[in-house]
Copies of this chain bind each other. A is one copy, B any other.
Amino acid sequence: MNAKIIWLRNTISSIGLQGMIISNPVNIKYLTGIDAEGILLITRKENVYITDGRYIEYVHNTLPLFDEIVVWNVADLSQDDYENFFMFCEKVGFEEEYVTYAKYKEYIRKFKINSLVETENLIEKQRMIKDEEEIKNIKTACEITDECFTYLTKYIKPGMTEKEIADEIEKYYNSKCEGLAFETIVASGENSSKPHAVPTDRKIQEKDIITIDMGCKYKGYCSDMTRTIFVGEIPDYIKPVYDLVLKNQEQTLDAIKDGENTRLLTKMVENDFKLHNYDLIHSIGHGVGMEIHERPYISRQKDILLKENMVVTNEPGIYIPGKFGVRIEDTVLVTKFGCISLTKSAKNYIII
């Protein structure tokens, strides 16, 4: 059995569950490597993956023998089979933040489960701590993003549209890895004042500010980086804002380490922005892994302690509505004594 499934079996047993139904496809991929449609059952005796005819062959080819996962075609299962999976189980766990109310009721009925109980995102929480291979994949995704950014600083010229630049990023990623981790943001001029801007047909002009938020997927793992760059020169009125964002991004980078509180990290940035009459309008980071946004979320809402081998973003930003915005973001690896920035592109004034 692979280490992740062994971990899950031990964990559910330690919280008094005799079984679990895993429905979230990202969690199933995390535990088994299977990227298909189906559900994974952890039963007293076995690990079972139920899928349909479209995926049976693929699943058999994906699973190494030692994973000890029994694969079933849903078409071959009788009502008795369903009832046997969790027979003599008092409590079976499920993913209450993924499973709809209708599915919840269907599980109880089909599997005849006495007590189907919430598991409070236990797999998502485990996913926060990356193992060696996961870190290696994220690191590679970050390297490809750095290379793509270097390429962009030579590629971008006045007269190109935001969409053309976004398309070029997609082409670059497609040639190097599995492609985009999320829809690229290329926001120029006043568009940069919107944190979630969608690339438009606006043409890059001389003296423009351009915010580029980009990331790719390598072996199923994401990278996430933002740089704010300038065409020809950086206008004087933008400099103090850029400096303030960069200062806070670097201070946060210095602060991130095992044991650090995410609410305090956020407060630090928020206070410094306020001192200069700016608001912090979004959270300053999030976990990165199989999903581009995952736990932990670094915001003022909740006290979470960062832990060794979490991978998170560090992305403060300031936005002046209708004028411009500055955001600088790295993907970083939390270690015992500090953090390592996995994206390494320059952050001083980048003038193209």
Q: Is the CB of A97 within 8 A of B100?
A: yes
| CB closest chain-B residue, reference A116 | B101
Chain A: how many interface residues by the 8 Å CB criterion?
13
Of A54, A98, A101, chain B has the most CB atoms within 10 Å of the CB of A101
Contact residues in B for A152 (Cβ distance below 8 Å)? none
- Check: A272 CB closer than 8 A to any chain B CB: no
Nearest Cβ on chain B to A7's Cβ, whole angstroms: 23
Q: Is the CB of B102 within 8 A of A100?
A: no
- Check: A111 CB closer than 8 A to any chain B CB: no
Q: Which one of B54, B97, B105 lies within 8 Å of A102 (CB-CB)? A: B97
Q: Is the CB of B100 within 8 A of A98?
A: yes
Q: Which one of B54, B96, B105, B196 lies within 8 Å of A100 (CB-CB)? A: B96
List residues 113-167 of chain A with CB under 8 A from any CB of chain B.
118
- Check: A82 CB closer than 8 A to any chain B CB: no
Bound: A104/B99 CA distance, A: 11
Q: Which one of B94, B99, B101 lies within 8 Å of A118 (CB-CB)? A: B101
| CB closest chain-B residue, reference A174 | B163
Contact residues in B for A118 (Cβ distance below 8 Å)? 101-102
Bound: A101/B101 CA distance, A: 5
Nearest Cβ on chain B to A235's Cβ, whole angstroms: 27
Q: Which one of B54, B99, B196 lies within 8 Å of A101 (CB-CB)? A: B99
Bound: A104/B104 CA distance, A: 11
Bound: A104/B98 CA distance, A: 12
Bound: A118/B102 CA distance, A: 9
Contact residues in B for A98 (Cβ distance below 8 Å)? 100
Contact residues in B for A97 (Cβ distance below 8 Å)? 100-102
Contact residues in B for A96 (Cβ distance below 8 Å)? 100-102, 105
Bound: A141/B102 CA distance, A: 33
Contact residues in B for A196 (Cβ distance below 8 Å)? 54
List residues 175-198 of chain A with CB under 8 A from any CB of chain B.
196
Nearest Cβ on chain B to A250's Cβ, whole angstroms: 28
Bound: A104/B100 CA distance, A: 9
Bound: A1/B101 CA distance, A: 30
Bound: A177/B18 CA distance, A: 53
Q: Map CB proximity to B onto A81-116 as digits: 1 under 8 Å, 0 otherwise.
A: 000000000000010111111101100000000000
| Given A96-B100, A101-B104, A101-B118, 15 extra CB contacts under 8 A | A54-B196, A94-B101, A96-B101, A96-B102, A96-B105, A97-B100, A97-B101, A97-B102, A98-B100, A99-B100, A99-B101, A100-B100, A100-B101, A101-B101, A102-B118
Going nearest first, the 5 A-B pairs with the smallest beta carbon separation are: A96-B102, A96-B101, A101-B104, A97-B102, A101-B101
A-B residue pairs in contact (CB < 8 Å), sample of 18: A54-B196, A94-B101, A96-B100, A96-B101, A96-B102, A96-B105, A97-B100, A97-B101, A97-B102, A98-B100, A99-B100, A99-B101, A100-B100, A100-B101, A101-B101, A101-B104, A101-B118, A102-B118
